[in-house]
Amino acid sequence: MPDLGTISVTFHAAVFVGAIAAWYKYGDRTDLTDKSLKGTKEALDGLRAYLGRALAEAVRPTVERVVANMPFSEAALEELHGEAFQDDVSSFVISDIGEMLSYRMLVHARNRWSAWSRRISWTVFVLVLIEAVCTCYFVIATWALNRPTSLPVLLATFIVSVVAFGFCILCAGMMLHYHDKISLYRDKVL
pLDDT for residue 173 is more than 90: yes
Question: 123-157 pLDDT, tens per residue?
Answer: 988 989 888 888 888 888 777 777 777 778 788 88
d(CA 57, CA 126): 53
d(CA 34, CA 168): 20
Residue 182: inside a domain: yes
Residue type, 5: G
User: Is residue 51 within 8 Å of residue 99, measured between CB atoms?
Assistant: yes
- Residue that wins the pLDDT comparison between 59 and 77: 59
d(CA 173, CA 180): 11
DSSP 92-110: HHHHTHHHHHHHHHHHHHH
Question: 28-51 pLDDT, tens per residue?
Answer: 666 666 666 666 777 777 777 777
Q: What is the pTM of this model?
A: 0.69
Considering its fold, how many domains does the chain have in total? Answer: 1
Residue 75: inside a domain: no
Question: 71-118 pLDDT, tens per residue?
Answer: 666 666 666 666 777 777 777 777 777 777 877 888 888 889 889 988
- pLDDT of 151 reads 79
Residue 52: inside a domain: no
Residue-number span of the structural domain to which 128 is assigned: 4-39+97-189
Residue 151: inside a domain: yes
Residue 79: inside a domain: no
Residue 87: inside a domain: no
Residue 107: inside a domain: yes
Q: Is 83 helix (H, G, I), strand (E, B) or coil?
A: helix
Residue 90: inside a domain: no
